[in-house]
């Protein structure tokens, strides 16, 4: 299966999440930027609240697509210790990248959320959505941060994922839904006809539409 774009992927993912439709205890949290269009289609179909959760990958200098780990709102940090030890990455390099990504995380929080308070996740079923999972580093940071915020149940839902990563999440969260898990997985982008970057403007527009047209989280 190849998705036309992130909106098409969201519509197909929503079909796997129908059992949450209209549930007042559910909230969708999208990982920006690529997860926002996917989550919007899911939230629109299920008619449940949607918000954004900021997570930043800690890419290896010179190879930014290779994740050393990730950071998330609330000060959560996840490090890929196996990779760090295998490559002999010094702590000073991790700290330097974490500072840079922390600044971008703060910028995006101000840009996307402004002064709006973050929803109360205590006792909620939180569905974390992105456009795909490769290593899963950013999603792991998000799941740990959401758990720390008091979520009762955590669901990870994506249109496409590495089979191994999807299996790993089955033991890390309460429910994992990966629409497709192709054996020949190399990158999330290969499963989309249109995988152009999602802009900040598109993110803001979709979040405003969600606030206007969808239920609001308590």
The model's pTM: 0.87
> Residue 57 pairs with which residues in a beta bridge?
70
Model pLDDT, residue 83: 87
* C-alpha–C-alpha distance, residues 135 and 45, integer Å: 28
* C-alpha–C-alpha distance, residues 192 and 53, integer Å: 23
Each residue's pLDDT expressed in tens, for the chain with a length of 218 residues? 799 999 999 999 999 999 999 999 999 999 999 999 999 999 999 999 999 999 888 988 888 777 888 888 777 788 888 889 999 999 999 999 999 999 998 888 889 988 788 889 999 999 999 999 998 888 988 998 898 889 999 999 999 999 999 999 999 999 999 999 999 999 999 999 999 999 999 999 999 999 899 998 76
Model pLDDT, residue 145: 87
H or E segment and range at residue 94: helix 91-112
**Residue 129 dihedral angles phi and psi, to the nearest 5°:** -130, 135
For the beta carbon of residue 218, count every other beta carbon within 10 angstroms. 13
Which residue ranges make up each domain of the chain?
Answer: 6-53+119-213
Q: Which CATH class is domain 6-53+119-213?
A: alpha beta
Model pLDDT, residue 180: 97
Model pLDDT, residue 35: 97
Model pLDDT, residue 102: 92
């Amino acid at each position: 299966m190849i998705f036309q774009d992130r909106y098409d992927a969201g519509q197909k993912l929503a079909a796997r999440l129908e059992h949450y439709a209209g549930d007042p205890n559910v909230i969708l949290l999208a990982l920006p930027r690529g997860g926002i269009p996917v989550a919007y289609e899911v939230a629109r179909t299920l008619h449940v609240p949607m918000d954004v959760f900021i997570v930043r990958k800690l890419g290896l200098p010179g190879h930014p697509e290779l994740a050393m780990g990730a950071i998330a709102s609330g000060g959560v940090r996840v490090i890929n210790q196996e990779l760090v030890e295998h490559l002999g990455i010094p702590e000073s390099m991790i700290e330097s990248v974490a500072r840079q990504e922390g600044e971008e995380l703060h910028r995006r929080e101000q840009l996307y959320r402004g002064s709006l308070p973050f929803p109360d996740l205590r006792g909620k079923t939180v569905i974390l959505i992105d456009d795909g999972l490769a290593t899963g580093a950013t999603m792991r940071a998000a799941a740990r941060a959401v758990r720390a915020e008091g979520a009762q149940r955590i669901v990870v839902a994506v249109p496409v994922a590495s089979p191994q990563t999807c299996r790993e999440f089955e033991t890390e969260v309460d429910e994992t839904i990966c629409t497709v898990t192709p054996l020949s997985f190399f990158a999330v982008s290969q499963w989309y006809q249109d995988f152009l970057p999602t802009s900040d403007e598109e993110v803001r527009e979709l979040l405003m539409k969600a606030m206007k047209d969808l239920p609001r989280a308590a």
